[in-house]
A and B are shown apart, each in its own frame.
Chain A
Amino acid sequence: MGFFWTIVTLLAALALTWRYLGSYMAAVFDGRVRWLRVLERPIYRALGTSPEQEQTWTRYATSLVVFSGVSIALTYLLLRIQGSLPLNPQRLAAVPPALSFNTSVSFVTNTNWQNYAGETTMSYFSQLAALMVQQFVSPAVGVAVALALVRGFARRGSATIGNFWVDITRCMLYVLLPIAFVAGVVFVGQGAVQTLAGPVSVHDALNGVTQTIARGPIGFMEAIKQLGTNGGGFLNANSATTFENPTPLTNWLSIYLVLAIPFALTYTFGKMVGSVRHGRALLAAMVLIFGVWVGFTSAAEHQGNPAVAAAGITHQPAGNMVGKEVRFGDTSSALFAVASTSTSTGSADASYDQFTPMGGFGLLTGMMLGEVTPGGVGSGLYTILVYAIIAVFIGGLMIGRTPEYLGKKIQAKEIKLAGLASLVMPLAVLVVTGIAVSVHAGRTGPLNSGPHGFTEILYALTSQGNNNGSAFGGLSGNSPFYNVIGAVDMLLGRFGIIVPVLALAGVLAAKDVVPESLGTFRTDNSMFVGLVIGVIVIIGGLTFFPAVALGPVVEQLSHGRFF
């Protein structure tokens, strides 16, 4: 399938998904879909809760933080004692403390940053019970936060914003599990490996070498890896290997799964606040930025590699093929990469370190925009809503009214929380990068020196701060320093946004609605889409301009031209 047809079929499939998965999810989260109530009810009974027991935002946030804290502790414990646990055919020893800490935080925060190679570090039990479980749970937590915020807009004069336990249960039961199951069947059907038998040794008589081929329960993990915008693969080479991503169809499916829920949630949002037009406006902002980034990065990769050109090979008809899977090629790899970095997924079917500087710039900046185009499962929606609130505030003032979004007045409290939520990520990323380039342990991390080395550090900490998890490569991240600082970065990037967003949900839910009139600032038209894009690009641009100038921009300019 050519690049063109990939785009066309993806667009068609995503359009249908947006409409139907979007309305299905709205029905699920409103409690109107009950086909799994046989499973649902016992879960609530076990948790001692019910959909009728609504929570205030503080209770909701406490539940979430406690749940995530316990998840981190549990994951950490499992990794530390994996040597004594079953399903460990390779007899792998316990994962070291710093790495366990980084990894457990990474999977609980939906980041899936991997400072390890899965096949040589994690037992099957760890992959399944520790990591894959979090691949289901962490996107559900993201969706729960988004739902809370959406209810903040939809409700009036309400003290509560929903029930955290019910929200994550419904999300996993009705959305993530069924879709991941179907997608897993396709992956396995296409040839992705799914086995509990250990690795095999293959003797190559011709060359006289013996190779160990890693195997494992890969296929189904692959489905939730993409669907939940997790990105953490079973194998180190991630979606570039044939075991994880065997065919062009699974490659297409990977891109589709990554984008499906984040885009569709905008429809769910519109449906739940009673105006699909509002959902469509957010979708438009996401799609426009995403489209430009795909175009830019694909064009950059199609240019050919400047370093190769400098070596005398100016004719590179296939584009920059360094570090690419031949099965996928330049533009398709760029599409996969942009989909993965714009959605907080971070999976990869090519080596990002060997993208052209401008191609790498596309991936890096895709994350720097705050993961909203369309962003992670749930997190994309709640983060873009924060940007929308800021856009509404500035735009609303410009028409001479106290700004309001969906009838909710945006005042001091809302701006305080939205400001906090939108600025935590750039602050965290810049400060930890500043620390990393200053201390010895940080400076020895990158394989390269100069601007490329700087980009390797910046990329790693941007990826973790945005809970993306995509690896640029070229950074030796499995050091105590990078394990700890990365974990801090991930925790700030996740909960530093979630807590203010939940507070925002509480404040908004308690408010009354101002009726709409002709004088109301329209938040469902193209003008507003433009404003939201402006706010996203300006906040991202202004905070990261100098850092990016010192990394990929300088590097590209060193080759003498931008493209």
Chain B
Amino acid sequence: MERAGTTGPAGPDASPVGAAARPHGVAEARSLFDREILRQALAGAFRKLDPRVQVRNPVMFVVLVGTAVVVLEAIRHPGRFTWSIAIWLLLTVVFANFAEAMAEGRGRAQADTLRRMRSETEARKLAADGGETRVAAAELAKGDLVVCEAGDLIPSDGDIVEGIASVDESAITGESAPVIRESGGDRSAVTGGTKVLSDRIVVRITAERGHTFLDRMISLVEGADRQKTPNEIALTILLAALTIVFLPVVVVLQPFARFAGASVSVVVLVSLLVCLIPTTIGALLSAIGIAGMDRLVQRNVLAMSGRAVEAAGDVQTLLLDKTGTITLGNRMAASFIPVPGRSEEELADAAQLASLADETPEGRSIVVLAKQRFDIRERDLGDGHEFVPFSAHTRMSGLDVGGRSIRKGAADSVRRWSADQGGATPEGLDELVARVARAGSTPLVVADGPTVLGVIELKDVVKQGIREKFAQMRQMGIRTVMITGDNPLTAAAIAEEAGVDDYLAEATPETKMELIRSEQAGGKLVAMTGDGTNDAPALAQADVGVAMNTGTTAAKEAGNMVDLDSNPTKLIDIVEIGKQLLITRGSLTTFSIANDVAKYFAIVPALFVATYPQLKALDIMRLHSAQSAVMSAVIFNALVIVALIPLALRGVKFRASGSAAILRRNAFVYGVGGIVAPFVFIKLIDLVLTATHAY
């Protein structure tokens, strides 16, 4: 596979083939066994043997110290067994390092691409007198003004203060279609490293040196300044406690053995200790965390901290904007309702005529609906027709052709216009309009000159599959709340159709904030999306605030995640990734502890078999010899780390279901499986060692 993340300034279309399933993104899903990453990870695995690195991971540090003890023993009393143990203990540490290096390596390639983009940029700084000087992007300070013209890379994050331009943001989002950025309003933010395609803009730099969006992205994908998350800290403490308790458990075996008139070898004691302490989870813990962030990046979500990702797993209330999240962005024609005395087809025909020139999604949906219902095709109108475009003043649009004037628009406007043409409002129109509005839809009235024909019902179309998603959320114990500016009537109808648990109608930034506060006061964690500057306070207040990349700088700074695709539905994915991260940690911890049972049964009989041959009865695996038993357990303990790297990087499969079902499944697979698996594999390794006459 080519280097991924090639969606740099050089060519947004140079995405590797393997990324086809995910058409865009800073971090395309890479094969787990990308050769380049494997090579680098291998080198990293040995580099990380430095005790100063190891001391940060108490579990693996104990293994390293144990290795040193065994090596000393091997030097004093050389022997194949002792040296083999020493090598496998060292490999245990190397494998742990390898897992971490793998996870880090997956982000590094992307970071390199991003970094190149940053260093090469040159800025045209605007002086107070209007003159321009050329400076390196890295030298820009907050508040500087820079000029960018077609073909320029925007040197740093900022807000447009003058002009409008189309910008290629593919370097950040992977999306190759250019976006429009203009001064003022909610579309004024630009990101360093993106490219101006047309026009000229003046940008005020808003990011401090070294703290641009790009910088944050680089350190995020690299996992460089990764802070341990609260749950990770708690788990590390538990693992450290388990490590500390096994130390005396093993050490006192020496006096216990002496009391029985025996002596046990230090090498075997160290082997037992390493097998008992939770090396499996200890080795994979940081890889799991890095890989969790990586999975988010792959879905084009940048989390500003691991803490936010973990909080996402705990979220109990999701605030979802109606438009774009729950419904498709636009309303669509759903039905034609004629007034008494008029046929539906007549209405459909007029409605289609009135909409032929209407390029809005609503207009096109009317044309399509008429075609579907009555097979009325778009027609050639010939000459002598004139389209009447929509204006905020008239609040209607239509067509004048062959002496006919057809209009569609807001009920009041069309009725007034029709009355002006000399028509009378037909009986029942008001009632029709009211009924459509009550159902949560928007009524458009159609009139052919003085004759009012009926009403077109424009409906918000709820996204496909969203209802099922919400049902899953409910099962997971997450309450969904729809946020909309619509009136309560409309909101209720859509909420009902989409299957959300609650809705907030006629929402303002203030009511939104109030809702978040009241949910949090009840102890709940709240997640929301937003893009406008007026969303910023709510984004900051929410436990998980996902800002849309299209949004303002203020919004992006207030939230703790940025969605580069600006797709609010992704909030649901984020919650799942947060949960998956915790599940992976919990499951591997359970697996690691459960493994100890088999290791005891392998090593303890071997330890005392010379003094108490009766203990052979505990050797239920019937291992070949004492040495092969210890060797097999140590080898299993090392290899299981490698075997579980893919699982740690991909995460334990997450299925949206109730907590009881998830627990039953994981407790069975990783708890019971964790007890059984080592019995099988230690026996197999023993058979291999015996067959190869190693012992």
Taking a contact as CB atoms under 8 Å apart, the answer to whether A514 and B523 are in contact is yes
Contact among A397, A426, A517 for B479, CB-based, below 8 A: A517
Taking a contact as CB atoms under 8 Å apart, the answer to whether A393 and B234 are in contact is yes
Contact among A393, A395, A399, A400 for B238, CB-based, below 8 A: A393
- Chain A residues whose CB sits within 8 angstroms of the CB of B235 once the complex forms: 397, 415
- Chain B residues whose CB sits within 8 angstroms of the CB of A396 once the complex forms: 586
4 smallest A-B Cβ distances: which pairs?
A519-B477, A397-B586, A400-B579, A517-B477
Contact among B234, B249, B578, B663 for A398, CB-based, below 8 A: B663
A64 to chain B, nearest CB (A): 24
The answer to the question of A520 belonging to the interface, with a C-beta cut-off of 8 Å to chain B, is yes
The answer to the question of A89 belonging to the interface, with a C-beta cut-off of 8 Å to chain B, is no
The answer to the question of A208 belonging to the interface, with a C-beta cut-off of 8 Å to chain B, is no
Q: How far is the CA of A416 from the CA of B522 in the complex (A)?
A: 27
- Chain B residues whose CB sits within 8 angstroms of the CB of A437 once the complex forms: 255-256, 258-259
The answer to the question of B587 belonging to the interface, with a C-beta cut-off of 8 Å to chain A, is yes
Would you list 13 pairs from A and B whose C-beta atoms are within 8 A, ordered by A residue? A398-B662, A399-B659, A401-B579, A415-B241, A419-B237, A513-B523, A514-B316, A514-B524, A518-B475, A518-B658, A519-B658, A521-B663, A542-B596
The answer to the question of A558 belonging to the interface, with a C-beta cut-off of 8 Å to chain B, is yes
A521-B663, A527-B664 as given contacts; A554 in contact with B238, CB under 8 Å: no
Taking a contact as CB atoms under 8 Å apart, the answer to whether B582 and A412 are in contact is no
Q: How far is the CA of A240 from the CA of B256 in the complex (A)?
A: 33
- Chain B residues whose CB sits within 8 angstroms of the CB of A19 once the complex forms: none
B500 to chain A, nearest CB (A): 16
- Nearest neighbor of A558 in chain B, beta-carbon distance: B614
- Chain B residues whose CB sits within 8 angstroms of the CB of A397 once the complex forms: 231, 235, 582-583, 585-587, 589
Name the residue among A433, A534, A546 with the largest chain B CB count within 10 angstroms.
Answer: A546
- Nearest neighbor of A432 in chain B, beta-carbon distance: B252
Interface residues of B in 236-272 (CB under 8 A from A): 237-238, 241, 244-246, 248-249, 251-253, 255-260
The answer to the question of A420 belonging to the interface, with a C-beta cut-off of 8 Å to chain B, is yes
Range of interface residues on B (Cβ < 8 Å): 35 or more
Number of contacting residues on A, CB 8 A?
64
- Nearest neighbor of B585 in chain A, beta-carbon distance: A397
The answer to the question of A74 belonging to the interface, with a C-beta cut-off of 8 Å to chain B, is no
Q: How far is the CA of A394 from the CA of B476 in the complex (A)?
A: 18
Taking a contact as CB atoms under 8 Å apart, the answer to whether B255 and A398 are in contact is no
Interface residues of B in 585-617 (CB under 8 A from A): 585-587, 589-590, 593-594, 596-597, 600, 604, 607-608, 612, 614-615, 617
Interface residues of A in 534-554 (CB under 8 A from B): 534, 538, 541-543, 545-547, 549-550, 553-554
Interface residues of A in 248-278 (CB under 8 A from B): none
Q: Would you give the 0/1 interface string for B475-491, flagging 1 where the beta carbon is closer than 8 Å to chain A?
A: 11111000000000000
Taking a contact as CB atoms under 8 Å apart, the answer to whether B600 and A546 are in contact is yes
The answer to the question of B426 belonging to the interface, with a C-beta cut-off of 8 Å to chain A, is no
Contact among B230, B474, B612, B662 for A554, CB-based, below 8 A: B612
A538-B593, A554-B612 as given contacts; A400 in contact with B231, CB under 8 Å: no
- Nearest neighbor of B616 in chain A, beta-carbon distance: A557
A430-B252, A450-B260 as given contacts; A549 in contact with B615, CB under 8 Å: yes
Q: How far is the CA of A453 from the CA of B256 in the complex (A)?
A: 11
A420 to chain B, nearest CB (A): 7
A267 to chain B, nearest CB (A): 24
Taking a contact as CB atoms under 8 Å apart, the answer to whether B249 and A394 are in contact is no
Taking a contact as CB atoms under 8 Å apart, the answer to whether A399 and B316 are in contact is no
A450-B260, A546-B249 as given contacts; A423 in contact with B477, CB under 8 Å: no
Q: Would you give the 0/1 interface string for A353-396, flagging 1 where the beta carbon is closer than 8 Å to chain B?
A: 00000000000000000000000000000000000001001111
**8 further interface pairs, Cβ-Cβ under 8 Å (given A397-B583, A399-B659, A527-B667):** A400-B586, A402-B231, A412-B230, A415-B234, A416-B241, A538-B596, A538-B597, A549-B608
Interface residues of A in 437-483 (CB under 8 A from B): 437-438, 443, 450-451, 453-454
The answer to the question of B192 belonging to the interface, with a C-beta cut-off of 8 Å to chain A, is no
The answer to the question of B470 belonging to the interface, with a C-beta cut-off of 8 Å to chain A, is no
- Chain B residues whose CB sits within 8 angstroms of the CB of A426 once the complex forms: 245, 249
A138 to chain B, nearest CB (A): 27
- Chain A residues whose CB sits within 8 angstroms of the CB of B245 once the complex forms: 423, 426-427, 543
The answer to the question of B233 belonging to the interface, with a C-beta cut-off of 8 Å to chain A, is yes
A394-B586, A534-B671 as given contacts; A550 in contact with B593, CB under 8 Å: no
- Nearest neighbor of B254 in chain A, beta-carbon distance: A434
Taking a contact as CB atoms under 8 Å apart, the answer to whether A398 and B586 are in contact is yes
